[in-house]
Amino acid sequence: MAEDKNSRSGLWLGGLPWWQALICIVLVLLPVYVTKMKDGNPVMLAATTMTSVLGICFGFAVIFNEIGERVPIWNKYIGGGLLATFFGVALLRQFGLIPEAGLDAINSFISDDANFLELFIVMLIVGSVLSLERDILIRSFAGYIPAILGGLLAATILGGITGAIFGIPFADTLIKYTLPIMGGGNGAGAVPLSQIYEQVTGDAAANYYSFAIIVLTIANIFCIIASAALNALGEKVPTLTGDKKTLIRGAEELARDDQKVKTDNNDLAGALLLAFACFAVGELMSGKILPKIAGAPIHKYAYMIVFVVILAATGLIPARVRAGAKRLQSFFSGQLGIIIMVGMGADFNLAELFNAIAPKNIIMALMIVIGAIIGSAAVGYLVGFYPIDSAITAGLCMANRGGNGDLACLGAADRMDLIAYSQLSSRLGGGIVLIIAAFVFSFML
């Protein structure tokens, strides 16, 4: 009897039979390590075009993703293939096993010049918001700011108590530890916080930033690990979480809008055009129309989320297009998520983390992260959210390193569908922290 070529018996890697996958991986990675002469100097053979860099990213991603999905304990409790890809590429970078030119090409494509990360985030935001039922959408976003504030308050309290144990004044704990960790990341948090610090004190911003980035880096690792641990807890205690796609308790019993209609390629095209238009609104609002509110800069993603929520709540977008947006989101989060993790790993400095390892900093960062989890979970539960999902999005996505940290946390927690909420934490939540910091720095320094 002839072998069924469509069967998946045996070992498969990255959607191909293992031996075919290995040949492909070698072929896409070989140009990174082979050089050619250009103007008398050796340069990487691999081109820096989108096609070449995507191939490089897929090569690394398939290797580490398969390892992470197959290693016991890691695959269920630590974060699986996504987190293995992130740390695996970071280790390769740390030990110089990826040429500098290759790292530059990956970073340029993922987060710098081409900024594929931005496209990834935009598609996930639009798809996750538009697919929600209108009543669920309104209820969830109405209760989300209180959940963020609950996490911020508990982090401040627990951080203050821990600081007191170490003999650190409350003002120093708040300014040096809590605000940088809960500020929404690096670019939206630590950097502007250091600028506010310089304006208020006259001291160099670098003096504040150099310590802020240390504690933020430590907290980011705790956030990723905690996300995986909360996901494992949810599997053990299902009543604490839902379907990993919504925050509202009991909302998974309702049919989501994207499940009610069938879509074709025209609907995907319409969803793409709509997503780009929503992103353009965010750029216009943050860049020209209303770049600041109460003195705090508002990120384009925050404006974009608000605009998408308004569109979804009004019911103006046809159901087929909303379903198309959800299909796009599923493709990006499912098939391209590991590509993003390669870019994040290529841009993560493990040496920075190792240099920051001091017992006091580790304990302070850990307790602030725990406070963020407890506060956001408790307030989230009071407003009708699942505590685990609220803790991950409103708590941990406030305490990590912003956009990249959000993706790492959501990947570790297997909750990419909640990216719109995580972005609210990093953007709107980070803006709230900056407003608070402006007053704190003025009165406490």
Quote the pLDDT of residue 389.
95
* pLDDT, mean of residues 110-130: 83
pLDDT of residue 302: 76
**Interval 69-94 mean pLDDT:** 81
Q: What is the mean pLDDT of the chain?
A: 84
What pLDDT shows up at residue 420? 81
Residue 10 has pLDDT above 70, yes or no: no
Confidence label for 362 from pLDDT (cuts 50, 70 and 90): very high
Comparing 166 with 245, the larger pLDDT belongs to: 166
Strand partners, 296: 293
Element of type H or E holding 12: strand 12-13
pLDDT value at position 177? 93
Q: What is the pLDDT of residues 138-149, one digit of tens each?
A: 777 788 889 999
Element (H, E) at 270: helix 265-284
Lookup: tokens for 413: 């927690």
What is the C-alpha to C-alpha distance for residues 35 and 86, in angstroms, rounded to an integer?
26
Residue pair 85/60 in contact (Cβ under 8 Å)? The answer is yes
- pLDDT value for 341: 83
Q: Above 80 in pLDDT, residue 352?
A: no
pLDDT at 202: 77
Q: How crowded is residue 315: how many other Cβ atoms within 10 Å of its Cβ?
A: 11
Integer CA distances (angstroms), 117 to 190, 221, 252, 337, 350, in order:
20, 20, 29, 10, 21
Residue 258 pLDDT > 60: no
pLDDT digits (tens, 9 = 90+) for 219-242: 988 999 999 999 999 999 999 998
pLDDT surpassing 60 at residue 257: no
pLDDT at residue number 167: 94
How do residues 394-427 score in pLDDT, each as one tens digit?
Answer: 999 999 877 778 888 998 898 988 888 887 787 6
31 pLDDT band (50/70/90 cuts)?
Answer: confident
Looking at residue 7, what is its pLDDT? 57
What is the rounded average pLDDT of the residues 338-344?
A: 85
Mean pLDDT (whole number) for 295-322: 83
Highest mean pLDDT among 28-42, 205-219, 407-421: 407-421
Q: Is the pLDDT of residue 2 over 50?
A: no
Residue 1: predicted pLDDT: 40
Residue 83: pLDDT over 80 = no
Instruction: Note the pLDDT of residue 6.
Output: 55
Work out the pLDDT band at 206, boundaries 50, 70, 90: low
The yes-or-no verdict on residue 317 having pLDDT over 70 is: yes
Distances (CA, A) of 371 to 182, 203, 367: 11, 30, 6
Residue 437, pLDDT > 90, answer no
Q: Which of 26-40, 294-308, 368-382 has the lowest mean pLDDT?
A: 294-308
Q: How confident is the model at residue 376 (pLDDT cuts 50, 70, 90)?
A: very high
Q: Tell me the whole-structure pTM to 2 decimals.
A: 0.71
| Per-residue confidence (pLDDT) for residue 196, from 0 to 100 | 75
Task: Provide the pLDDT for residue 238.
Answer: 92
pLDDT of 330 over the 90 cut: no
Report how far residue 361's alpha carbon sits from residue 354's, in angstroms, rounded to the nearest whole number: 12
Residue type, 88: G
Predicted local confidence at residue 255, as pLDDT: 45
Instruction: Identify the weakest region by mean pLDDT among 263-272, 411-420, 429-438.
Output: 429-438
Residue 16 pLDDT class (50, 70, 90 cuts): confident
Residue count of the chain: 445
Residue in this structure with the two tokens 């969803």, named with its chain if needed: 271
Q: Can you tell me the mean pLDDT for 7-27?
A: 81
Strand-pairing partners, residue 35, are 44
So what's the pLDDT on residue 364? 95
Out of 50-59, 78-87, 129-138, 253-262, pick the least confident: 253-262
Give CA–CA dist 157/145, Å, rounded: 18
Q: Among 208-217, 258-267, 320-329, where is mean pLDDT lowest?
A: 258-267
365: its two tokens: 């960062």
Res. 116 pLDDT band, cuts 50 70 90: confident
DSSP count for the chain of H helices, then E strands: 21, 6
* pLDDT in the model for residue 250: 75
